[in-house]
Structure 1
Amino acid sequence: MRQVKTHFTIMLALALCLGLFSGNCFAQSMYDGISGPEMQRILNNMGFSTELTRDDAGDPLINSSEDGLNFQVYFYNCTNDVCEAIQFYSGFTQTNNPSAESINEWNTTKRFGRAYRNNNGDSRVEMDALVTGGVTEQHIRNLASTWKIVLQQFAQHINW
C-alpha cells in the first residue's frame, strides 16, 4: 500500500509540474544562446532604450544607455545570429582620466566588471557573460541588472 501512495504522490507532483492542474514548473524558456532581437526585447522590457545594429564582423550590436551613461552589448560566437556570449561595454572619455592605481583599485575591489584604460588613457568597463547551455530569461535579466549597477558604480568611481 505504501508503494501505491508513493507512486500516486509522484504522479500527482508530475501532473502539477506539467501544468495539468495548475501552475507550470517550466514557465521560463531556456536559452542556448541568444539573438540580438531577443536581447533587445529583454532590455526594452526592463526599461532600457535600445538600438539594434551590427558590428564590423556582422554580429548583432545593441547601443543603449542608463541614466545618461551610454553602453553597448556585443555578441560573440554567433551562428545564424544566435550567440553564445555577450559583453556589456562602456567607454568614458574625459579630460581628467583616473590613474592606473584607481583602475587597479576597481579591479581589486569589485567582483563584476573589469576596468582598464585604452591607449589614449580613457576609461573602459566591461562585463562578459555566457548565455548558452540552458539559461533562463530571468538569468539574462539578472545579468542586465548587474551591469546597470556596475556601470553606475564605475561612473562614480571615476568621478564621471
Structure 2
Amino acid sequence: MSGIIQKATFADLETALKERGFRAELIDWPGGRKALRSASGGVGFNIVPGNAVDGGFMDFTYFASFRVDGLPLEDVAAHWNRARRFSRAYTRDGFLNFEMDVVIGPGVAPAYLAVTLDLWDRLLNELLAALREQAAEQQKAGQDEATAAAT
C-alpha cells in the first residue's frame, strides 16, 4: 500500500496484525459475513468489516466480548465510557462487549491501520487492567466486611 487508501481488505488488516506480532485468522461471522480473529493479552477479539466498497470495506470495528463474573457490568461499562475516548463498552446477555470503530473512507495513510491496531491493543489492555483492579477492590471490600462481622 502506498499513498492514500480509501478502503481496506482482509489481507491489509492481516498484514497489519502480523507486522505487530498478532495472529490473524479469517472466520465466518453471523449474517454470512467474514471477520478476522486475533487476540491480545489472552483475550480474543475480532475485526468486523463495515460498509463494502469495490473489493474491500471503508470502515471496520474492533470487537471483543467476554464474560466477567462478580462485577456489576453495567457500572463497569458506564464508568469506562465516561472516562475514556475512542472506544465503547456495553453489556448484552451477561457479556461485556468492547468496540472501537475505524473509518477509512475519506482516505488515510497506510500507516493508519497499524496506528488503530496499536490504539485498540492499548485500550483493550487498559480495560482488562481496570477489570482486574475492580475485582481486587471488590474482593478486598468483601474481606473487610467479613473481618468486621467477625469482630
1:127 aligned to which of 97, 100, 104: 100
- Measure the CA separation in 2 of the matches of 1:56 and 1:90: 15
1:110 aligns to what?
84
Return the offset for 1:96: 1.9
Q: Which runs of 5+ in 2 are unaligned?
A: 136-151
Return the offset for 1:151: 0.5
Alpha carbons 2:24, 2:38 under 8 Å: kept: yes
Is 1:72 matched up with 2:29?
no
SS in 2 for 1:31: coil
1:20 aligns to what?
none
The 1:51/1:36 distance shift into structure 2, 3 A limit, reads same
- Measure the CA separation in 2 of the matches of 1:40 and 1:114: 23
1:50 aligned to which of 24, 37, 47: 24
Return the offset for 1:112: 1.9
SS in 2 for 1:49: coil
For normalisation by structure 2, the TM-score amounts to: 0.79
The aligned runs of 1:141-152 (5 Å cut-off) are 141-152=114-125
**Higher CA-based Rg:** 1
The 1:150/1:49 distance shift into structure 2, 3 A limit, reads same
SS in 1 for 2:65: strand
The 1:128/1:76 distance shift into structure 2, 3 A limit, reads same
Read off the aligned partner of 2:111 and give its amino acid letter: Q
SS in 1 for 2:58: strand
Higher helix fraction (1 or 2): 2
Return the offset for 1:111: 0.7
Alignment RMSD: 1.9
Q: Which has the higher contact order (CA 8 A, sep 6+)?
A: 2
Shifted more, 94-103 versus 57-66: the winner is 94-103
Aligned length: 133
